[in-house]
Amino acid sequence: MAIDSKAITAAVRAALEAQGVRVVGQSGDSIPVGISNRHIHLSAADVETLFGKGYELQPMKDLSQPGQFACKEQLTIIGPSMRAIEKVRVLGPVRKETQVEISRTDAFTLKVKAPVRESGKIDGSAALTIIGPKGVVNIEKGCIIANRHIHMSLADGEKFGVKDNQYVDVEVEGAERRTKWYDVQVRVHKDFRLEMHVDTDDANAVGISNGGTVRIVKD
């Protein structure tokens, strides 16, 4: 007997809604996941301090979000523990302020009290030392653990029925450990490409890799 996948999907959707859970979007509306390893965004001034006057970052490959790229440059970071984490990738382009994004595991290694934050919201965040080939930068703020978030285009925002800066819950699809992530920030912008970003701790905890998928749900 042939299996009617649409009928099965409809039945599952009905069962979820009967329990008070509304699945946003239609069948096939999975969101790809990108796993974000520790990395550094540098200000123009700190680029020159770390690499020398007049130095420009060298792009290595484009990232999923338009205009963002991984650089050839790697740096060393050190916290109060005096244990160094080496070969931390720099991402471009340059920013107004330097920001270092790490995982909770990295925070334990460095002994820094890095808060969970939206990228760019660095007031009151942790201090850190960055070591480059030509100099050292001591940032008084800027070390954070990035919050879980989803990038969406304007069309994606319409499709999923969400707005910029809305918070949603998502279920991880096909992971080794069934998981639901709460309070995931949605960022909607005309230049964004659909992708959810999580750090290595989150990815390893559920057994998901780059290209895995999640689905938004609403209570």
List pLDDT tens digits, range 78-132: 999 999 999 999 999 999 999 999 999 999 999 999 999 999 999 999 999 999 9
Say how many domains are in the chain: 2
Q: In whole angstroms, give the CA distance from residue 215 to residue 162.
A: 13
Q: In whole angstroms, give the CA distance from residue 171 to residue 204.
A: 16
68 lies in which domain range?
A: 37-146
Q: So what's the pLDDT on residue 176?
A: 82
Give 151-176 pLDDT, tens digit per residue: 999 999 999 999 999 999 999 998 78
Please check whether residues 41 and 30 belong to one and the same domain.
no
Query: Which has more pLDDT, 6 or 180?
Result: 180
Asked if residue 9 belongs to a domain, the reply is no
Asked if residue 1 belongs to a domain, the reply is no
Confidence of residue 28 (pLDDT cuts 50, 70, 90): low
Q: List, in order, residues 6 or more apart from 127 with CB less than 8 Å away.
A: 112, 138, 139, 140, 141, 142, 143
pLDDT of 24 above 50: no
Cross-strand pairs, 188: 152
Please check whether residues 152 and 213 belong to one and the same domain.
yes
pLDDT of 76 above 50: yes
Q: So what's the pLDDT on residue 42?
A: 98
Please check whether residues 140 and 182 belong to one and the same domain.
no
Q: So what's the pLDDT on residue 27?
A: 41
Q: In whole angstroms, give the CA distance from residue 105 to residue 84.
A: 13
Residue corresponding to tokens 């440059």 = 73
Confidence of residue 29 (pLDDT cuts 50, 70, 90): confident
Please check whether residues 155 and 66 belong to one and the same domain.
no
Asked if residue 3 belongs to a domain, the reply is no
Of the three residues 118, 146, 174, the one that is the final residue of a domain is 146
Please check whether residues 208 and 175 belong to one and the same domain.
yes
What mean pLDDT value characterizes the chain? 90
Confidence of residue 177 (pLDDT cuts 50, 70, 90): confident
Please check whether residues 42 and 141 belong to one and the same domain.
yes
Q: So what's the pLDDT on residue 178?
A: 86
Please check whether residues 65 and 51 belong to one and the same domain.
yes
pLDDT of 22 above 70: no
Q: What is the CATH number of the domain that holds 192?
A: 2.40.40.20
79: enclosing H helix or E strand: none
Of the three residues 107, 131, 146, the one that is the final residue of a domain is 146
Of the three residues 129, 146, 163, the one that is the final residue of a domain is 146
Give 181-216 pLDDT, tens digit per residue: 999 999 999 999 999 999 999 999 999 999 899 999
Give 62-74 pLDDT, tens digit per residue: 999 999 999 999 9
- Side chain identity, residue 84: A
Query: Which has more pLDDT, 2 or 80?
Result: 80
Asked if residue 17 belongs to a domain, the reply is no
> What are the C-alpha distances in Å from 150 to residues 108, 113, 140, 164, 219?
26, 25, 28, 10, 18
Q: So what's the pLDDT on residue 19?
A: 55
Please check whether residues 138 and 180 belong to one and the same domain.
no
